[in-house]
Amino acid sequence: MSLKLTILGCHSATPRVNAHPTAQYLEINNRHFLIDCGEGTQRQMRRYKVGFSKINHIFISHLHGDHFFGLIGLIATYGILNREKDLHVFGPKGIKKAIGLQLDVSQSHVRFPLHFHELSAKKSECVFEDEKVRVHTIPLNHRIYTNGYLFVEKEKPRKLNIEVISNYPEIETCDYNNIKAGRDFKLKDGTVLKNEVLTKSPSKLKKYAFCSDTAYKPSISEIIKDADLLYHESTFLSDKEALAKKTKHSTAKQAAIIAREAKVKTLILGHYSSRYPDINLFLEEAKTVFDNVILAEAGKEITA
């Protein structure tokens, strides 16, 4: 397992007793990311045993309160906990000003390095990359500047085929890294053992696409193509499609169409409007278009 998603909150607008605004914790290829940070996120993190210290990168989709009003509280808590590691926050232009003002007027003391990466591009771009993961923006269509995020594992080394390698005593443990890196091995008699004989293909690279608040936007299908998991907002059902268009949100059916066109493996629905008493209605509508659908619920863990 190299991809695990924990839903911390998945409802729209204001927090309620059993309805928490958007926040997710993603583990992919041994990296740990927080995606959006609605009000009460850090309490949800404690409830579902998300390690505060593991998070070094936070991705905010847009500056509506139900997606980032929990960020200042989390940052302040990191200060109280005497955090020393760098914290990187990715989000729309203006997020640095919004958080900086709150830290300033409250005289909160943040002694750890806090880095803001403000985004304004209207086309998809790579905003984070290390040796294990790349993150690209997914430009969305909402009432204010909004991005989703695509998290992609980077190429893994090939796996050693120990059954074959054990037949050649000349291959020592110190040679393994070179073989995993793709090199052939030359025996003393001059015979060249091809790398594809000595190794097995690595597991398929995992992809997670997060699409928060957005009007129906079919063009994103190309960016998120073949994702293992797609989270797509579904604030309304088709009975409110006109309202969805007016407020720049999506219906469950529209989210399912995106999933089908992008050929993703699993669709996760969320950001439900409180006007619907039964969220299973979202599942039923989406399944008329796309089979593999999951409803987001606080505390739910989804793996791929």
DSSP H or E segment with residue 96 = helix 95-105
Does the active-site annotation cover 66? yes
Give 274-299 pLDDT, tens digit per residue. 999 999 999 999 999 999 999 999 99
Q: What tokens appear for 263 in the block? A: 């050929």
Mean pLDDT value across the chain: 95
In order of start, what are the domains of the chain with their CATH numbers? 3-156+203-303 (3.60.15.10), 159-200 (no CATH)
pLDDT of 179 reads 87
- Residue pair 52/40 in contact (Cβ under 8 Å)? The answer is no
Q: 1 falls in which pLDDT band (50, 70, 90)? A: low
Distances (CA, A) of 71 to 58, 91, 144, 195: 9, 11, 18, 48
Q: What tokens appear for 130 in the block? A: 């290390």
Q: Which of 36, 66, 213, 228 is catalytic?
A: 66
Separation between Cα atoms, residue 275 and residue 295, nearest integer Å = 17
Q: 218 falls in which pLDDT band (50, 70, 90)? A: very high
**Given a cut of 90, is residue 68 above it in pLDDT?**
yes
